[in-house]
Each structure stands twice: as structure tokens, then as C-alpha cells.
Structure 1
Amino acid sequence: MSHIISIVGKTNVGKSTLFNCLTKTKDSVTNNIPFFTRDRKYGLIKINNKNFTLIDTAALSTNFLSYKEKNITYFINKQTKIAIQEAHIILFLITSYTHLDSFYKKFLKFLKKKNKTLLIIVNKIDYLINFSFNKFLNFSKTIYISALYKININQILNSIKILLSKKQKTQKDFLNNKNNNIYNTTKLCLVGNTNVGKSTLINSFLKETRLIINHHPGTTRENITIKILYKNHLFLLTDTKGINQTQNIKQHNFLFNFIKQNDVIFFIIDATLGLFEQDILLLKQILSIGKHLFLILNKCDVINNKQKTVLKNFLYTKLYQFTKFLTIHFISALYFYNFKSIFHSLDFFLYLKSKSWSNHFLTKLINLAIKKKPLLKKKHILKFLVAKQININPIIIIIFGQKQLKLLPNHYKRYLFNFLVQNLNIKNICLQIHYFHNK
């Protein structure tokens, strides 16, 4: 049985701090800037060795219950309303110094209409203890906590446990069901400069407005992870904060370390702007560690074929040592143009992810390559070699042989490398070959 718990409240009441405290992570970015959180962020909390979904939401604005023009605030409010709709339990968070205005009465009436189980939590009790929220809202029980100093957090968990035990309604959710372990899981992240269309691409995948999109750079302020099931394979998609070309080395290293934790990288480029040197540097780093890379040029609906060719040639020139592995996708995330090419590459990734070549097959292939193009010099004559695959992502193959391997010239190593890439049909992921010889 799966239950969802959503944290809601006004700005700077400590929602993200409570989210991190309950999930025992630092996934939600905490900040004193008002309305910093914009999207819904999902996490897991564990109660009695059972996992439940926790959602961190954007701050409630004064126009939350009114429908005005469709600006960014409208879409932020929409994300919070979806989180409320999904939730079985609402953790309504306020502070010990909250001013109790008419908005709270209206909002609570809104929740009552939604038939949601509500838990009132007063945060920041280290500021003020004397508080009369119970009398104002006529609630029998309120939990007083300090999320920053982890005071009374267990009371929240115990209250959730009691509320869940009373609930008779069940709801199936494949993302958190016990049978979820039947799915293979792949971590995928979207990387790119600000305003290149990363959030739009995810929304297009889901065919819904899951992430807030806006023409102003920096709309996505923190990493948002979403679960997508594709062909019985669970993808954890993370939309990352846009790369700023003025970012320092520390920020660059932080992003690269996050990338290394993922299996597949969607590198999104704005086709109308092209690439920056910082993009090329990051691409080389990603390819060097053997990550499965999707190079996606978005907004190609506004460029012509000649401009596409120029961009493609530029990429091949800058990444010449990796061109054998590059597959470039020219798409429009907004208009679903050429989406099929991405799904074809995803299918090929799933094939490679489950593909493991036997020692017999690889050995036969290597010796076939030697037979087709033998080394002429006597000191470089290669005898029977043995090949073995030791890793899938990246693909690592070890070739075992006699002392002659030590003297193997680089041009012949490149030949064997290219031969394997071609015959194994390896794309989007680097192949690494290591040579071992007897002493």
C-alpha cells in the first residue's frame, strides 16, 4: 500500500528544511530567498521499515485560490495544487510567529473540500513558544517543532503512523509499490545552459506540465527528480539547474560530480545559440568517463539545414576523438519534432545495458581482426589473444596475450578499437580497452 504526504505552507516557514529532515537527505535546497522553491520535489521517508512518498512544494502565495493571468506564479501554484491532489496527508507548516490572517481560513476550507487528512505543524519554536493556533482554527492537536534543530521530529513520524493506520482507503502506485523491484532502474539527468529547454523536454516526455517553464533564464533553481516507466524500465529523470557561463570551478566540479552519479546524460544545447567553450569542456569530461551520452540540439525548428550542418561539423571538430560514439539529435521539445530519434536511442541504450558479450565471442572477434590485418614486423607478431568484458556502462574489455602486447604500436591499438566499435555496433557510450600480457 502506498501513501503520499505533501508539505505545504507560506514562504520561508521551513518546508525544505523539514523535507530534508524527514527524508534524511539534503535533496531540497534551503534558502532565505522568498519563493525560492518552485517545483514539486519528491523524496522518501521511512516509517516502520516502510517507504512513503514525501513532496516538498512551492510557497503558498496570496493569490493561490484565485485564477489570474497565466504568469509564472500561476504555474507555481498549479504545481502545489497537484501535490495537494496527490497527497493522502497534508503537513500544513506555519511558524511560531505566523500572522493569522483570513487567507488561512480560506485555505483550510479549500483543503476541507479536497477531503484531505491534515496535520498542523508549528515550526521554529526556538523563536517563540507561546502560540494559540489551536484556538484560532479549532484543532485538537498541533505539533510544535524546530526542523533546523530536529526538535520533536519523531512526533511528526508517530502522528503520520497513527493517521495511516486509521486510513482504510488504498491506492495503487507503481512508483512506490512493493512490486517496484521488478523494474530495472536507470538514473538519467538533463544538463545544459539556462533556458535551453530541459524542463520543456521533460514535460513533453510526460505529456503534461510537470515542471515550470518560463522564458526567463534560471527558472529551475534546484534539481528535480521524476520517475518515468518506459518499456518496463524505470528511469529517474533529474532536471538540473541551468549552467551559468560565469560559474566558478567549485560549481563546475559540483555539477560534474553529480553527473558521475547518473547512468545516462541528456546534454541539451540551444541550436539557435550553439555551444560555448565551457560546454565543450564538460562534454569531453562526460565522454572521458564513459557515460552514455545523448547530445540533443533543441529549438531546431527555427534553424535551417545549413545551420544544422555547421553545428554538426563544429561538434565533430571539437570532439574529434569521440566522434565514433556521438549521436546528435536535432529536436524541438516544444513541438515534439524528431522525438522518435530519442526513443530509438533509448531503446538501443536498454539493449546495451542488458548486453554482455561472451569471452568466446569477443576472443573470436579480436582474432578475426588480427587475421584480417596482421602486423608485418616479426617482433609484433600476435599470437592467440583472449578477450573479456568486465563492465557494461561504460563498456570495458580486457585483452590478454603474450609479451608482444607490450610492443603493440598505437596505430594497431586504434585499429582493434575501431574494429570492435564497428562490429559490436557501439553508440553513445565510450568503449575502453585494456591490455594485459604475461611477463
Structure 2
Amino acid sequence: MCFIICLIGNHKVGKSTIFNKLTNTKNAIISNKKYFTTDRKYGICNFKKFKFKIIDTPPFNFFYNNSILSKKLKFQIKIAISESNIILFIVDNKKGLTYNDIFLSDYLKKKNKKIILIINKFENNLINNLKLIDFYNLNYKNIIKFSNNISINNLINKIIKNKNKNKIKNKKFIKVIILGKTNVGKSTLLNKIINKNRLLIYDLNNTTKNYIEIEYIYNKNNYLFLDTIGFNKKINNIYFKKNIKIIKKSNLILFLIDSKNKITNFEFKILKYIYKLRKSLLILINKCDLINKNEKKNYKRNIKKKLKFLYYTKFKFISAKNNLGINNIIKKIYNIYISSIFKFNTYNLNKNLIKLNKISLLKKNIKLKFAHQGSIKPLKIIIHSKILNKNNKKKCILYIEKYFYKIYSLFCTPINIIINN
């Protein structure tokens, strides 16, 4: 079992900063904006031989109003607490003990979890030392005074002592990234796939502020889903660059588009980039309940025409909100993954080269000599050949790609053909 640490505290106490230090990343974006963190954010802390999961949470405030967003924030925090083994209760030494800290302390003590009180933003002076007395009166056995000048190792060592040195095994994950425009239904889809209201769903643009990693086990296979910030031209560059980085790391991509809107030039650009990387891809056309049968036919025909370079992908109509077409998505993901790790038999590959050499397009432009597999994820076939006409090289490569894709019955997974002259 993976040991899980949960960060709990009010607004601007430094949860995201501590999360970034523990995970040695900048995944939790730090902002002065209230309730900027609106989801549970997952990360991994590696320290010497130890490894554990960290959850960053939205601000916990007992004086929330009764808005829909406030209720959903509370729900996210409750789930994070229930999943965790240790709670890091973070308070602000500069502000001193607040009423919210007192209420939150009482609430956490009822959860029967191990709690470490982190007194953040600590400075060794008379005023702050007087404020410390109030925090010590909360009666916690494990208390750490922390600031930017203090090594994170002190905190990690305290966590290790509390976790009784449980060792965590490395897992192999099928990494799935969910991409799409802002408010297209990515978080709703993921909630339906994993059958758990784990992400914040709220009808506002850019509700998912950072990408979110979620582990899911189905039929003994470990999946790691990454729900991302929606693509939007106006969006800050930080988010866009993060999505590009995680596209490279993923095994396969679920790309959501809205059935009521035409595909945009920006979406087209991203899909071109996915093809360039030869990533496995399934395109999901969401909100299909809003269009009739004829509209579906026309939409599918038009999008196939525009995206004809994605010869290998499948287009599936779904309604994430109404749970239409969702049931078999996890099985499709697994089938795509199996295609992405397919191992070609060298003898069989070269048998097919003989057939390809007889096709007129190739016969005039290229002579194929010997083929072998270069890699998996992405699939790569290296072909040693003699190029007769360089002008038609791209045409020949695309023909070979499609030929092998069809002959080996691959699913939503392209092949990168490398021609060595």
C-alpha cells in the first residue's frame, strides 16, 4: 500500500509551497488568489529509500458560505482526509492562531489520524515566539517549526518516523492524459470512468487550475489519469507548456471535443503535435445528447475529412454528463495500451517487406531491404532501404505506416517508420 500524506490548512498558510518542496516540483502553482487551489493535487515524495504520496488540498475554512463551489471544496477535502495516513496540519505563525485553526484542529482530532502540526513562516523573534504558545496549547505531540530557511529534510524525517518505515513498491502505470478545450467535460468524464466524484466539477472556465494525477486500478491494471487544464489561446503559458510536457510522458491520449462546435485551429495544432510524436489517440466527441442522428453522421464525416492525417484514431460519441458511451472506455484504453507495446516478429516483418516491394508506388521510389522493431511506446519500425526517388519519400513512408497498421490490426496506435538509406 502507498503511504499517503495529506496537507490541510486555511488560505495562504503555505500548503502549495510545502507540497512543491516535498515533491521537488513546481506542480502546485502558488497564487495570492483566494481558493486558487480547487482540486486535490497528487504528487510523490522520494527521499533516500522512502517514497510516499502527497495530497495538496483546497483551503479548509469552517466559515465557508453555502455556495455550490464551497460545498464542492469541502467534499474534496473530506475525501483527501479519508484517503490519508498522516495529516500535515499547516498553520501560519505570522498570523497567529485563528478561530478557523481551532475549529479545524478539533475537526481533525476526531478523524483518528496521525497529525503533525506544521507551524509555517516561523521567524525566531519575540513576537513570533509569543504566538507559538497558542499553537503549543493545541496539544499535539508532533510539532515542527518551518520556514523557507529550514531544510525540508527535517519534515520528511518526522514523516518517516510516523510511518514506521513502511516500504512502498514501485508500480507500473498505464499513463492516460485527457486533453480538450476549456469546459469540454474532461473532469466529468474522468469521474465517470473511475466511478468516483474525485475531481471538482463546476461550470466555470478553467475550474481545473493545474493538471491532476489520479491512480485507478481496474482488472489488476494500474492506471494513472492526468486531467489537464483546458486548451485556450488566452491561457497563461505555464499551463500550456505543462500540457506539452505531459503529452510526451503519456502512453495514450483521450482527446475531447464538443459536438456542438467545429474543431478549432488550435485543437488542430495540438492534434498535429500528437501525431508528430506518434502517440496513441482516441477522440471522444462529447455532449452527443445535444445532436440528432443526422447531425452525428455529418459531424463525423466532416471531422474525419479535416483530420485525415490521423488515419489510426477512432471517433466515439459520448455524453459524460449523461453517462452515454462511457462504460467500455476503460477497456478501449487497455486495448490501445496493448497495441502500443506490440512486439513485431522480425521474420514476419521482412515477409511483409517482400509484398510491399511489389506495390507500384514503392517499386518506383524505394527498395526495401530489411526491417526490425526500433521501440515501443511509440511503436517504431526501422527499415534499411535504397531510396530511388527522394521526392516521394514521405508518400512511401505514409503508405508503409498504414499498411503495417492494418496488417497487424493495431488499435488507435500509429507506427513511426524510420527509413535508413
TM-score with structure 1 setting the length: 0.86
Partner of 2:42: 42
Identity %: 31
Q: Which residue of 2 aligns with 1:297?
A: 285
RMSD: 2.8
1:430 alignment counterpart: 414
CA contact (8 A) 1:21 1:150 kept: no
The one-letter amino acid of 2:91's match is I
Cα deviation per residue 1:197-246 (whole Å; 9 max; x = unaligned)? 11111110111100010111111111110011233332211111112232
Question: 2: distance between equivalents of 1:11 and 1:426?
Answer: 49
Once the two structures are TM-superposed, the CA of residue 78 in structure 1 deviates from its matched residue by: 0.9
Contact 1:134 1:142 in 2 (8 A): no
Partner Cα distance (1:413, 1:122) in 2: 61
Describe the shift of the 1:155–1:308 C-alpha distance in structure 2 as closer, same or farther (beyond 3 A).
Answer: same
Q: Which residue of 2 is the match for residue 224 of structure 1?
A: 212
Q: Residues 168-196 of structure 1, C-alpha deviation per residue, up to 9 Å, x if partnerless?
A: xx9xxxxx952x54xx4222211111111
Across the two proteins, how many residue pairs are aligned to each other?
417
Secondary structure at the residue paired with 1:333? coil
- 1:361 equivalenced with 2:348 (yes/no): yes
Matches within 5 A, 1:207-218: 207-218=195-206
Q: 1:107 aligns with which of 104, 107, 110?
A: 104
- Name which of 335, 357, 360 aligns with 1:348: 335
Q: 1:123 to 1:380 in 2, by over 3 A?
A: closer
Kindly indicate whether the alpha-carbon contact (under 8 Å) linking 2:173 and 2:222 is maintained by their aligned counterparts in 1. yes
Deviation at 1:61, TM superposition (A): 1.7
Amino acid at match of 2:77: T
1:321 is displaced (CA, Å) by 2.3
Describe how 1:269-308 pairs up with structure 2 within 5 A. Answer: 269-308=257-296
Partner secondary structure for residue 129 of structure 1: helix
Q: Which moved more, 1:102-111 or 1:186-195?
A: 102-111
| Deviation sequence 1:392-411 (CA, Å, 0-9, x none) | 22222122235658697665
Aligned residue number for residue 190 of structure 2: 202
In the alignment, the residues of structure 2 paired with residue 400 and residue 294 of structure 1 have an alpha-carbon distance, to the nearest angstrom, of 31
The verdict on how the C-alpha distance between 1:39 and 1:409 changes in structure 2, with shifts beyond 3 A counting, is closer
**Structure-2 change in CA distance of 1:288 and 1:154 (3 Å):** closer
Question: Which residue number in structure 1 is paired with residue 385 of structure 2?
Answer: 401
Residues of 1 paired with 2:242 and 2:110: CA distance? 44
Aligned-partner residue type, residue 204 of structure 2: H
What residue is the counterpart of 1:173 in the other structure? none
Give the 5 Å matches for 1:65-144: 69=66, 71-126=68-123, 129-130=128-129, 131=131, 132-139=133-140, 142-144=143-145
Q: Tell me, which stretches of 5 or more residues in structure 1 are unaligned?
A: 171-175
What is the alpha-carbon distance in structure 2 between the residues aligned to residue 223 and residue 251 of structure 1? 8
* DSSP 3-state at the match of 2:232: coil
Answering whether residue 182 of structure 2 is matched by residue 162 of structure 1, we say no
Shift of the 150–336 alpha-carbon distance from structure 1 to 2, 3 Å rule, reads: farther
- After superposition, the Cα gap between the structure-2 partners of 1:303 and 1:380, relative to the gap in structure 1 and judged at 3 Å, is closer
Distance in 1 (alpha carbons) for counterparts of 2:242 and 2:108: 40
Listed one character per residue, the Cα deviations across residues 23-79 of structure 1 (whole Å, up to 9, x for unaligned) are 212221111111111111122223551212221111012346xxx857111111111
Distance 1:348 1:414, change over 3 A: same
SS at match of 2:173: strand
Query: For residues 17 and 436 of structure 1, do their structure 2 counterparts lie closer, same or farther at Cα, with a shift above 3 Å needed?
Result: same
- 1:316 Cα deviation after fit: 1.9
- Counterpart of 1:217, as a letter, is N
Residue 390 of structure 1 is matched in structure 2 by 374
Question: Is 1:58 matched with 2:58?
Answer: yes
Counterpart CA distance in 1 for 2:162 and 2:335 is 45
Decide which of 241, 245, 252 is 1:264's aligned counterpart.
Answer: 252
Is the CA contact (8 Å cut-off) linking 1:359 and 1:386 kept in structure 2?
no
How far did 1:374 drift? Answer: 4.9
Q: What is the CA distance between 1:357 and its match in structure 2?
A: 0.8
Match of 2:152 in 1: 153
- Given that residues 329 and 341 in structure 1 are in contact (C-alpha distance below 8 angstroms), is that contact kept between their aligned partners in structure 2? no
**TM-score using structure 2 length:** 0.89
CA spacing shift, 1:418–1:55, aligned 2, 3 Å: closer
1:117-137 residue CA offsets vs partner (Å, 9 max, x unmatched): 221111112496322223542
2:222 is aligned with 1:240 = no
Q: Structure 2: where are the runs of 5+ without partners?
A: none
